[in-house]
Amino acid sequence: MDYQTLILTKEKGVCTITLNRPEVLNAFNAQLSQELELAIDELSKDDATRVIVITGAGRAFCAGGDMKGLPIKPGDVAATTTALEQLHRLLLSIRRLEKPVIAAVNGAAAGGGCDLALMCDMRIASENAKFVEAYVRVGGTSDSGGTYLLTHLVGPAKACELLLTGDPIDAKEAERIGLVNKVVPADKLESTTKELAARLASGPPRAIGMMKKAIYTSLTQDIESAFQHTLYMTALCMQTEDAKEGIAAFAEKRPPVYKGN
């Protein structure tokens, strides 16, 4: 498919999706939201793609909603609901995808753009990155999962601070509170992200997909249920050719070659 607001590049099992509306700091309009949802769906069916990286063109990751390009207006509940439901479908598709998704946060991640980064499985941030849940600054509430995502990532007290004040934090503070996995110089963001993505892409895809699902399922499980899920997951995993290859490679002291079956 030809995308107008995205750039997709594929290399050795890794697909990088670049949000490509730099003139508005990659803010979401209806087209970007729809195209990103379509791209995630396309890549979910592409066995050659094992890892997805999301980043932004220009100096920002994503500035949130483009108020000129989204049908969100005070008093228009129906239009606002429709626009947000589309954005929610997109964000949930990332969480449900049985492939790891890495956010390479190159600059500002604000509002829905911050929530997009938080919805990814891992985040690597440039020293130029900043994060802000800016909703309260315009009289709004978090509408893209920030209340859930922040609470689980940094705890309720810090989530309250970030959401109720709307204060931005820089990359180092984001790393300190566990919001991002790693902070690197701006000129190292691409290479560092590629290194992590390549490492994940060389792993066993089905096992990684099962573990991603189990990690997020565990957020709403008690420990007994989590253990039962682990038993089921392990039984499935041990039937794969990749599991046989991994065990054989370990015994033979050689790197495994995983084929995804």
Q: Which domain holds residue 53?
A: 6-201
CA distance 114 to 62: 7
For residue range 145-167, list pLDDT tens digits in order.
899 999 999 999 999 999 999 99
Statement to judge: residues 120 and 184 lie in one domain: yes
C-alpha separations of 7 from 55, 92, 142, 160 in Å: 10, 21, 28, 35
CB atoms within 10 A of CB 251: 8
Residue 78 lies in a domain: yes
Bridge partners for 18 per DSSP: 7, 55
Domain identity same for 149 and 72 = yes
Q: Structure tokens of 165? A: 């004040």
Torsions phi, psi for 105 (to 5 deg): -90, 105
Indicate the residue among 164, 182, 201 that finishes a domain. Answer: 201
Same structural domain, 40 and 116: yes
Q: Which residues pair with 107 in a beta bridge?
A: none
Cβ atoms of residues 34 and 2 within 8 Å:
no
Amino acid found at 197: A
Residue 133 CA to residue 114 CA, distance in Å, equals 7
pLDDT (0 to 100) of residue 65:
82
Confidence of residue 201 (pLDDT cuts 50, 70, 90): very high
Count: domains in the chain:
2
pTM for the model stands at 0.93
- Rounded CA-CA distance 198/50 in Å is 9
Which of the listed residues 160, 177, 201 is the one where a domain comes to its end?
201
The 10s digit of each residue's pLDDT in 46-99 is 999 999 999 999 999 999 988 775 656 666 677 777 777 888 888 999 999 999
- The per-residue pLDDT for 141 is 81
- Structure tokens, 75: 């008093």
